[in-house]
Chains A and B, each alone.
Chain A
Amino acid sequence: MTRKTRKKTLPGFGITMGVTLAYVSLIVLIPMASLALMSTDLGPAGFWKVITDSRTLVALKVSFLCSLCAALINAGAGLILAWVIVRYRFPFRRFVDGLMELPFALPTAVAGISLTVLTTDKGWVGGPLFRLLGIKIAYTELGIITAITFITIPFVVRTVQPVLEQLSPDYEEAGLILGAGRATVFFRIILPEILPALLTGFSLAFARGLGEYGSVIFIAGNIPFRTEIAPLVIMSKLEQFNYDEATAVALLMLVASFVVMFLVNRIQVRAASFAGEK
C-alpha cells in the first residue's frame, strides 16, 4: 500500500496514460478487432473451407518450411558470427559487426530485386551455380529460403551476442583446467548459457520469415502450388476483392505468429528464472 501511494508522487500519469491508450486503441486495438470481427462474416464452415483449400495449404506449407530452413541456417551462421565477433580480434571486425543490421536498414523490396538479379541463371551467383551444378535459386524454393535468410540474419546474432559478451570466462577456464576438451567445454558450459538466447533468436527469425513479403515475392516467381507464400495468397485474394477469404487466411497466420511469440515469451521467462536461481 505504501508503495502504491509513493509511486503516485510522480506527476503526468493522466496525460501520458491517456495519450498511450488513445493511440494504442486507434492504431492497434480497433484495427485488429475489426479484422477479427470481419472474419466472423464467413462462419465456421466457410472459414474451414478457405483454410483447407489446397492452394492455401500448399502456400502455408511453403511459408512454414522455407522459414524453418532459413531460421535453421541463421541459427548456425548466427551463432558462429556472434562467436567470432565477440571472441576473436581480426581486421574488419567492427565492419562485420556494424554490417549485421543491414537487413533491418535495407528496404525489403531493394533486397528482393537485388537477390533476384544475383541468383537468376544469368546472375553473378546464379550463373556459375547453374552452369556448374545445375542448381537454380531464383524462382524456386531455394530463392525463397535465400530471401528469408537474408532478412532474418540479425535476429540470432543480436540475441546471442550480448549473452556471449557477458559470459564470464571463469567457468570455461575452470573446465579447461580440470581437463575437459574444448568440445566438452563448449557443449557443457557455453551452449547451455546461450541456448535460451539462441532459441529466442531462432523463433523471432522464424516468425519474421512466416510473414515476410517484400523480399520474397520478387525471387519466388510465385508459381501457384510451388513457390507461392502465404502472405501472397492474402494479397491475391485482396486483389480479387475476396476480402472474407483474405481475412480467414490472415487470421490463421496471426494465430501461428502469436503461438511463436508466446513460445518466445516462455523461453525468456524460464531463462530468467534459471538465472535467478543461480
Chain B
Amino acid sequence: MGRWGGENRALRRLLIAFSFVFVGAMLVLPLCQVLWKAFESGIRPFWASVSDEYALKALRLSLLTTVMAVVCNGLFGLCAAWALTRFAFRGKGFLITLIDIPFAVSPVIAGLVFIMTFGRMGWAYPFLSEHGIKIVFAVPGLVLATIFVTFPFVAREIIPVLTARGTDEEEAAVLMGAGFFQTFRRVTFPHIRWALLYGVILCTARAMGEFGAVSVVSGHLRGRTNTLPLHIEILFREYHTLQSFSCAAILVATAILILVARNIVEGISRKDADYHAR
C-alpha cells in the first residue's frame, strides 16, 4: 500500500482530478442546471408552477403508483425470498430468471406487454370491457407498469442475505415450537430489515421516476393519467421550460433524499454486518 501511495503521486493526483472532473461534469452539473432553471426568476414563479393544479395532480398520482409498487413488491420480495432460500424445489433457477427479467427489459417493452395483454389488441380485453374495467390508459395500467419495472428490487436485496445466513436459527426456533409468523418476526426479520429497507429505497427511486413504461400505458390524459415525469415531458415539449424544471426540481429533491437515505442505510447495515461478523 505504501509503495502505491508514495511513489506515484503524479498518477494519483491525475486520477483523482479526473474523477472530480467526471463527477462534476456528468453528475453535479446536470443537478445544478435543474435547480438553476427552476429558480432562475425567483422563488415565486417556482412556487406558482409547482402548486399548479395539474402539477399537484401529477404528483399525487406519482405518489400513489409509488406506494402501490413499493407495498406490492415489498410483500412479494419477502415471500419470494423465503420460498427461494428456505426450501429446495425443482425449477428454482427458472423462477429466479423470471424474477430477474424486468431488469433486462426496456421500459418501453415493459409498457408494451401490458398493452398486448389488457389493451384493445389483448386477449383479456373482451372480458375486461364486458365488466367495465379499464386498465390500459388508466391508473391500474400505470400501477402495473410501475410494479413491473420495480419488480425484482426488494427480492434481489433480501435473497443474498437470507442465503448467506442459512437456516439453522430458524430451524432451532421451529423445533422449539415457534410458528411461522413468530419465527419470521423474531428470528428472520431482524437480519433482513436493512436489506428490506434498502430494497424499498431502490424501489421508491425507480417508481417515482419511471418514464418509458408509464408513458406507453398512460395515454397522457392531463390531470388523470399523467405522472410527474410525464407532466414534465409535456411541459418541456410545450416550451414551458420554467414550469417543467420547477417540477423537475421536486424530483431532484426526492432523488437527493433517496441518495442520503441509501447511504445512511448502507452505513448502518455495514456496521451491523461487522458486529455480527465479530
Contact = CB atoms under 8 A, between A and B. Distances in A.
Interface of A: 3-4, 6-13, 15-17, 19-21, 23-24, 27-32, 34-35, 37-38, 77, 80-81, 83-85, 87-88, 90, 92, 96, 98-99, 101-111, 113-115, 117-118, 123-125, 149-150, 153, 169, 172-173, 176, 182, 207, 210-214, 218, 231, 234-235, 238, 243, 246-247, 250, 253-254, 257-258, 260-261
Closest 9 CB pairs of A and B: A107-B209, A211-B106, A214-B211, A213-B212, A31-B113, A11-B180, A105-B255, A16-B83, A109-B229
Contacts of B88: 3-4, 7
A234 B109 CA distance: 8
B116 A211 contact: no
Contact of B216 (A108, A118, A238): A238
B258 A105 contact: yes
Contacts of B109: 35, 211, 231, 234, 250, 253-254
Given A20-B95, A238-B216, A110 B251 contact: yes
A218 B229 contact: no
Nearest to B18: A80
Interface in B158-215: 167, 170-171, 174-175, 179-180, 183-184, 202, 205-206, 208-212, 215
Contact of B108 (A15, A77, A118, A235): A235
A238 B136 CA distance: 13
A36 B116 CA distance: 9
Contacts, number: 279
B255 A107 contact: yes
24 contacts: A4-B88, A9-B171, A15-B79, A16-B79, A21-B95, A23-B80, A28-B101, A28-B102, A34-B113, A80-B19, A80-B22, A81-B19, A84-B19, A99-B23, A99-B259, A106-B209, A110-B255, A118-B33, A153-B27, A207-B104, A213-B215, A231-B107, A234-B108, A258-B104
A260 B27 CA distance: 27
Nearest to B12: A88
B28 A238 contact: no
Given A10-B174, A35-B113, A23 B33 contact: no
Contacts of A254: 105, 109
A10 B178 CA distance: 10
Interface string B86-101: 1111000001001111
Contact of B151 (A28, A118, A207): A28
Contacts of B230: 109
B232 A113 contact: yes
A20 B83 contact: yes
Interface of B: 1, 3-5, 7-8, 12, 15-16, 18-20, 22-23, 25-31, 33-34, 37, 72, 75-76, 78-80, 82-84, 86-89, 95, 98-109, 112-117, 119, 121-123, 144, 147-148, 151, 167, 170-171, 174-175, 179-180, 183-184, 202, 205-206, 208-212, 215-216, 228-230, 232-233, 236, 241, 244-245, 248, 251-252, 255-256, 258-260, 262-263
A96 B106 contact: no
A250 B180 contact: no
Tell me the dominant secondary structure on chain B's binding face: helix
A142 to B, nearest CB: 14
B30 A11 contact: no
A119 B261 CA distance: 31
Contacts of A77: 18, 22
Nearest to A232: B108
A117 B35 CA distance: 12
A213 B211 contact: yes
Given A10-B87, A107-B211, A107-B251, 7 more contacts: A23-B80, A96-B23, A106-B209, A109-B229, A110-B229, A113-B244, A214-B211
Contact of A110 (B86, B184, B252): B252
Contacts of A92: 20
Contacts of A13: 83, 86-87
B151 A98 contact: no
B174 A9 contact: yes
Contact of A105 (B3, B82, B228, B262): B262
